[in-house]
Homo-oligomer: A and B are copies of this chain.
Amino acid sequence: VARIAIIGLGLIGGSLGLALKRANIDGLEIAGFDAEWGVGGRARKRGAIDHEPRGLRATVEGAAIVIIATPISQIPSVLEEIASALGEHAIVTDTASTKADVMRWAEGALPPPVSFVGGHPIAGKEQGGIDNADASLFEGRPWAVIPSVRASEEAVRAVENLVALTGAHAVLVDAAEHDSYLAAVSHLPLIVATALFSLASGSRAWPELAQLAGPGFRDTTRLASTSPDLSHDIALTNRAHLLHWLDRMIEELGRVRATLAGEEADKQLAELFARVQAERDAFLARPPEHPGPARPAADLSARERMAAFLIGEYALRRTKEVQEMIERGERRREGER
C-alpha cells in the first residue's frame, strides 16, 4: 500500500483526487485534509479521497507524495506544521499559481532529505470548491513543474508521473521563468479584466452600459470573477513580474491610442487588427508543441511509471522485460510454424 496525501480539497485538490482514483492504481490510498469543516467528508463521498485522518500531521504521515493544494497564503503554515511529520524521503509538491515565494518557503521549512518539487496545473473553472471537482479537469492542460535545488531525480520523475496520470503534460521551468510567463498570460489578464469591469461598473452610465453589454464584454471580463482571495495572493506573490507586464500593457495601450489618434490610423489599424487576428488564429489552430519532460522518457506508460514509483521501479521494469522476452519468444515460435 502506498499513500498520497492531498492538503486542501477545493476544486484543484478534489479534482486531483478524482483523477488519481480514476487512474485506478493498485494499492494506492489517498488521504485528504481540508481546514474547512465538512469539505473532507464531501471529498470522501465524491470518491476523491479514501481517508480523512484527524489533522494535518496525521494526514501526511507515511505519505510517499504530499500535495499542497491550499490557497497560496496558507502554504507557509502548512509547510511548517507538516515538516516534522513527513517521512524521510517524502516528496512534497503544490499547485499554487505563483512559484518563487513557494519555492523559498519550502526551502526554509522542509528538512533536507525531503524533496520539494513545485507544481502549477494551468486549469480551472469559474465555479470552485469540492462540489465542482472533476476528474477530467487537467486533461490536455499544461502543468508547470519546478524542481527545487535539493529535489532528487526520482522526486521530479514521480511528480511528472503524477501529472501524466491526470492527463496533463508536465512543462519543466524554473520559478522565475514560471512567474514571468504566468504574469504575462494569466495574472496580467486578471488585472486587465478587473480594471475593465471596474471602469465600466464605476461609470455613472453603468445601468445603460450593462443593458448593452454583450458576450464580448462577458468574456473579456470573465477573470474579474476569480476568487478575490486567489487574485489577492497572486498579485502579492508575483508583484515584481506583474508590475513589469502591467507597465508594458500601459505602454501598448498608449501605442494603440497614438495609432488611433494619428493621421495614418486607417492604414495602421487595418495592419494591426489583421496581424493580431492572424497570430491568434495560428495560436488557436496549432498550439505550440509541448516538448514534454526535459529528460529521457521512460518506456513505461504513465500508469506504469506511477506504479513503478510506488512499488519500486526496478521490480516493475524487470517484470516488463520478462513479459517482453516471453512475447518475443512466442512471436518467434509463431513465425516458425
Q: Which of B123, B185, B211, B219 is in CB contact (< 8 Å) with A288?
A: B211
A249 part of interface (Cβ distance < 8 Å): yes
**Using Cβ atoms and an 8 Å threshold, which residues of chain B touch A279?**
197-198, 201
A213 to B171, CA, bound (A): 12
**Using Cβ atoms and an 8 Å threshold, which residues of chain B touch A180?**
205
**Using Cβ atoms and an 8 Å threshold, which residues of chain B touch A190?**
216
A79 part of interface (Cβ distance < 8 Å): no
A296 part of interface (Cβ distance < 8 Å): no
**Using Cβ atoms and an 8 Å threshold, which residues of chain B touch A280?**
197, 201, 221, 224-225
A117 to B235, CA, bound (A): 48
Which residues in chain A, 164-203, are within 8 Å of chain B measured between CB atoms? 171, 173, 177-178, 180-182, 184-186, 188-201, 203
Q: Is the CB of A246 within 8 A of B236?
A: no
A144 part of interface (Cβ distance < 8 Å): yes
* Most interface-central of A142, A190, A214, A246 (chain B CB within 10 A): A214
**Using Cβ atoms and an 8 Å threshold, which residues of chain B touch A275?**
198
A141 to B214, CA, bound (A): 8
Q: Which of B194, B207, B247, B273 is in CB contact (< 8 Å) with A231?
A: B273
A227 part of interface (Cβ distance < 8 Å): yes
Q: A207-250 interface mask toward B, CB cutoff 8 Å, 1 = contact, 0 = none? A: 11111111111111111111111011001100100110111111
Q: Is the CB of A196 within 8 A of B188?
A: yes
Number of chain A residues close to chain B: CB under 8 A: 93
**Given A207-B288, A273-B231: A249 in contact with B216 (beta carbons within 8 A):** no
Q: A254-268 interface mask toward B, CB cutoff 8 Å, 1 = contact, 0 = none? A: 101100110001100
A276 part of interface (Cβ distance < 8 Å): yes
**Using Cβ atoms and an 8 Å threshold, which residues of chain B touch A315?**
none
**Given A201-B279, A219-B219: A123 in contact with B214 (beta carbons within 8 A):** yes
A124 part of interface (Cβ distance < 8 Å): yes
Q: How far is the CB of A255 from chain B (nearest CB, A)?
A: 8
**Given A256-B191, A273-B231: A249 in contact with B185 (beta carbons within 8 A):** no
Q: What are 25 A-B pairs with beta-carbon distances under 8 A?
A: A173-B212, A185-B200, A185-B216, A186-B214, A191-B253, A192-B192, A192-B220, A194-B273, A195-B249, A195-B253, A201-B279, A207-B288, A210-B287, A220-B220, A226-B273, A229-B270, A232-B273, A235-B260, A235-B273, A236-B269, A239-B261, A246-B260, A249-B253, A250-B254, A250-B257
Seed contacts A191-B253, A231-B273; 5 additional CB < 8 Å A-B pairs: A210-B283, A231-B269, A232-B270, A235-B269, A243-B261
